[in-house]
């Protein structure tokens, strides 16, 4: 279910879409084989068979193409440039440079350019400036521009998209958000005793309530203690730890979903120049938390669910002058194709009680919905739950491509991460009972613990090895190191604080704070970019993209779709009311217009109120399946 928070999220950026068709390059890098299960990876075969663009077609694009290549190469040589607000061509720059030099070849550059051009193509054709015959809007049958056709060519499609984007002077600048945190403490409150309420102890309950109100005898539960880290824009962080160690709490804190939690006011959080208060108030939709469970309207079809998500973040100006509804539908179709749920467009989403799409497909609906938000900071809480390992890797790859091209930042909690998925990430944080025992590049994490005196058993994945540090039964201590290795969570945390890696991290955080001072230039740019996307009538400080009337319109549309999806309750009610109206009407038929009917009229009014009250009781049933 898309909540209001999501409605406020930024409009999915055009270039964000390029990401999806790009993940075969990332797949090569990750050393994994592209899986046909999730989505429609654009194979190199596809690129070979796609016809090459004609000179005329690309006349205006060469400049952008070559400048992109140059930038890409330069960035590979000089390391990751700090991502700021990114524009149309700039944002194709950067990405995961560290450790991937060998794969960032010209070949790959060319392939990515091709994909980007291809994805852009289709929208140009939708624009009012192009010939209807080129438009995917009017494309039917076996056209390359028709996403439902077998011949659908992502390349031709994306070329149209980029054409539009580059040709549109009103195009908004895209924005990015990174994050640095220090002294991050999060706690909750619990009561020391709890019991089943009954007639006799209800008095005690009142006393407990009074205590709660007066804030006495509340027990503070420390969930996260003294966390530190920095995730630059365009980076991916994997959060590792056993259940109960605080993974969800960390992600929620980063995304600002702190209901029921207390973040220590002394904690320092710097969202690339924006403080946490402003980030979670004015820019609420810019940081997204995708919960572990899939909550959707069960009776709504997959297509409608995702259409709502796409329309909720339509920008003020859709590039190329495309009709907004068509644009949203188009983006939706692309995302569905990418995640391989195109065939479920008319199927109900369903839930535990209502039969709908399968569990894995539902998870992909959730992922698609969140992807459509295009939020620059995304937190995914165990979103690979219920997916097989091939699909889990595919999910990480899609995220990787988004972060590379669009400059998004992703924090992902994964239990049982396959090696190929782990390798996709830039940084890792390891949690042990609410303590941070490591933060740093994924490539050095294993070495850090091996240096400490632990052995990684053969064929154990790095992620499993790191998580095994938090379990005395699982971790393997090297012979002779038994007395030297840390044992308790506190000992691990102390070792981390004393380590070289920690010192390096502190320097990195300081540099980050200097580069992005709170309230500095970046905030200004971020706000401007956000403003350019919001509807004209929306307040500048509002986290919502759509104006109030647009939101109402959209929700009404969804309400109607829900009614269509499950009309039984409404019709039962209508039918019931009709019968009751006949019965009550016949009882009170022909009342005289004088005081003799006074009491009957009172009774009639009573019935009218009573029946409506019972009617809403029926509605309550529809809230809980």
| Residue 218 or 539 having the CB closest to ligand ADP | 218
Please give the residues from 526 up to 555 whose contact with Mg ion meets the rule CB under 5 A. Answer: none
Least Cβ distance, residue 292 to Mg ion (angstroms): 6
| Residue 125 or 247 having the CB closest to Mg ion | 247
| Residue 244 or 520 having the CB closest to ligand ADP | 244
Measure the N-to-C terminal CA separation of the chain; round to a whole number of Å: 15
Compute the distance between CA of residue 515 and CA of residue 194 in angstroms, rounded to an integer. 49
223 binds, among ligand ADP, Mg ion, none (CB under 5 to 8 A by kind): ligand ADP
Helix (H) or strand (E) holding 287: strand 287-290
The Cα-based distances of 418 to 31, 34, 72, 357, 394 in angstroms read: 12, 14, 29, 26, 11
Sort 624 into a burial class: Cβ within 10 Å, 0-12 / 13-18 / 19+: exposed
| Residue 241 or 319 having the CB closest to Mg ion | 241
| Residue 260 or 480 having the CB closest to ligand ADP | 260
| Residue 319 or 386 having the CB closest to ligand ADP | 386
8 A C-beta contact, residue 315 and residue 545: yes
Judged by CB under 5 A, does residue 467 bind Mg ion?
no
Structure tokens at 570: 């409404």
Q: Going residue by residue from 244 to 283, which x/- string records binding to Mg ion, judged by CB under 5 A? A: ----x-----------------------------------
Contacts of 157 (CB under 8 A, 6+ apart): 118, 119, 121, 122, 136, 144, 145, 147
- Name the residues that contact ligand ADP, by CB under 6 A: 188, 190, 221, 223, 241, 243-249, 260-261
Compute the distance between CA of residue 67 and CA of residue 89 in angstroms, rounded to an integer. 8
Phi, psi of 455 (to 5 degrees): -110, 140
8 A C-beta contact, residue 85 and residue 529: yes
| Residue 172 or 438 having the CB closest to ligand ADP | 438
Least Cβ distance, residue 191 to ligand ADP (angstroms): 10
| Residue 13 or 468 having the CB closest to ligand ADP | 468
203 binds, among ligand ADP, Mg ion, none (CB under 5 to 8 A by kind): none
**What is the widest separation between alpha-carbon atoms in the chain?**
104
| Residue 190 or 567 having the CB closest to ligand ADP | 190
- Residue-level length of the chain: 625
489 binds, among ligand ADP, Mg ion, none (CB under 5 to 8 A by kind): none
249 binds, among Mg ion, ligand ADP, none (CB under 5 to 8 A by kind): ligand ADP
The Cα-based distances of 431 to 223, 238, 472 in angstroms read: 11, 11, 14
Least Cβ distance, residue 192 to ligand ADP (angstroms): 13
Compute the distance between CA of residue 290 and CA of residue 184 in angstroms, rounded to an integer. 21
Least Cβ distance, residue 228 to ligand ADP (angstroms): 18
506 binds, among ligand ADP, Mg ion, none (CB under 5 to 8 A by kind): none
Sort 614 into a burial class: Cβ within 10 Å, 0-12 / 13-18 / 19+: exposed
Least Cβ distance, residue 567 to ligand ADP (angstroms): 39
Least Cβ distance, residue 338 to Mg ion (angstroms): 26
409 binds, among Mg ion, ligand ADP, none (CB under 5 to 8 A by kind): none
Least Cβ distance, residue 321 to ligand ADP (angstroms): 45
Please give the residues from 189 up to 208 whose contact with Mg ion meets the rule CB under 5 A. Answer: none
3-state secondary structure 408-456: CEEEEECCCCCHHHHHHCCEEEEEECCEEEEEEEHHHHHHHHHHHCEEC
Compute the distance between CA of residue 223 and CA of residue 237 in angstroms, rounded to an integer. 20
Taking CB under 5 A as the binding criterion, the range among 42-50, 158-166, 240-248, 567-575 that sits at the site for Mg ion is: 240-248
Least Cβ distance, residue 241 to ligand ADP (angstroms): 6
| Residue 192 or 346 having the CB closest to ligand ADP | 192
Compute the distance between CA of residue 280 and CA of residue 226 in angstroms, rounded to an integer. 21
Least Cβ distance, residue 263 to ligand ADP (angstroms): 11
CB-nearest residue to ligand ADP: 188
Least Cβ distance, residue 236 to ligand ADP (angstroms): 19
Q: Which residues bind Mg ion (CB under 5 A)?
A: 248
């Amino acid at each position: 279910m898309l909540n209001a928070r999501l409605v406020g999220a930024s409009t999915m950026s055009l270039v964000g879409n390029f990401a999806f068709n790009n993940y075969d390059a990332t797949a090569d890098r990750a050393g994994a084989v592209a899986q046909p299960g999730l989505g429609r990876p654009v194979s190199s075969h596809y690129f070979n068979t796609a016809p090459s663009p004609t000179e005329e077609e690309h006349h205006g694009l060469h400049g952008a193409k070559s400048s992109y290549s140059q930038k890409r190469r330069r960035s590979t040589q000089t390391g990751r440039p700090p991502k700021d607000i990114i524009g149309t061509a700039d944002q194709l720059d950067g990405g995961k440079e560290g450790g991937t030099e060998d794969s960032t070849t010209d070949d790959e550059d060319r392939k990515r350019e091709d994909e980007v051009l291809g994805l852009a193509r289709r929208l140009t054709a939708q624009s009012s400036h192009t010939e209807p015959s080129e438009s995917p809007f009017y494309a039917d049958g076996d056209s390359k521009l028709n996403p439902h056709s077998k011949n659908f060519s992502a390349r031709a499609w994306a070329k149209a998209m980029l054409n539009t984007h580059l040709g549109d002077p009103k195009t908004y600048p895209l924005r990015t958000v990174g994050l640095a945190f220090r002294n991050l403490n999060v706690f909750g409150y619990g009561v020391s005793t709890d019991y089943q309420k009954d007639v006799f102890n209800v008095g005690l309950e009142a006393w407990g309530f009074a205590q709660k109100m007066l804030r006495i005898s509340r027990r503070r539960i420390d969930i996260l203690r003294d966390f530190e880290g920095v995730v630059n824009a365009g980076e991916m962080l994997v959060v590792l730890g056993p259940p109960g160690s605080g993974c969800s709490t960390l992600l929620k804190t980063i995304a600002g979903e702190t209901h029921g939690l207390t973040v220590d006011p002394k904690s320092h959080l710097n969202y690339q120049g924006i403080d946490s208060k402003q980030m979670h108030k004015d820019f609420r939709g810019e940081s997204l938390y995708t919960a572990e469970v899939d909550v959707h309207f069960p009776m709504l079809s997959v297509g409608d669910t995702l259409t709502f998500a796409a329309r909720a973040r339509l920008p003020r100006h859709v590039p190329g002058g495309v009709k907004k509804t068509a644009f949203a539908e188009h983006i939706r179709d692309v995302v569905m194709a990418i995640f391989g749920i195109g065939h479920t467009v008319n199927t109900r989403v369903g839930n535990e009680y209502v039969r709908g799409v399968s569990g894995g497909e539902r998870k992909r609906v959730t992922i698609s919905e969140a992807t459509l938000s295009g939020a620059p900071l995304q937190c995914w809480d165990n979103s690979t739950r219920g997916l097989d390992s091939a699909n889990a890797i595919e999910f990480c790859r899609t995220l990787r491509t988004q972060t590379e091209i669009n400059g998004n930042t992703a924090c992902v909690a994964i239990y049982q991460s396959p090696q190929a998925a782990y390798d996709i990430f830039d940084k890792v944080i390891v949690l042990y009972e609410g303590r941070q025992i490591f933060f740093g590049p994924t490539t050095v994490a294993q070495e850090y613990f091996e240096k400490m005196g632990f052995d990684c058993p053969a064929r154990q994945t790095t992620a499993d090895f790191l998580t095994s540090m938090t379990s005395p039964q699982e971790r393997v201590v090297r012979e002779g190191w038994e007395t030297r290795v840390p044992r308790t969570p506190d000992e691990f945390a102390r070792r981390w604080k004393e380590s070289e890696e920690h010192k390096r991290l502190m320097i990195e955080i300081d540099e980050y704070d200097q580069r992005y001072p709170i309230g500095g230039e970046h905030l200004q740019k971020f706000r401007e970019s956000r403003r350019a996307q919001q509807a004209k009538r929306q307040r500048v400080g509002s986290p919502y993209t759509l104006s109030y009337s647009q939101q109402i319109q959209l929700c009404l549309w969804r309400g109607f779709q829900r009614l269509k999806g499950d009309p039984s309750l409404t019709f039962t009610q209508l039918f019931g009311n009709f019968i009751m109206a006949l019965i009550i009407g016949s009882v009170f038929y022909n009342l005289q217009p004088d005081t003799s009917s006074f009491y009957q009229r009172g009774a009639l009014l009573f019935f009218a109120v009573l029946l409506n009250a019972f009617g809403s009781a029926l509605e309550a049933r529809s809230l809980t399946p």
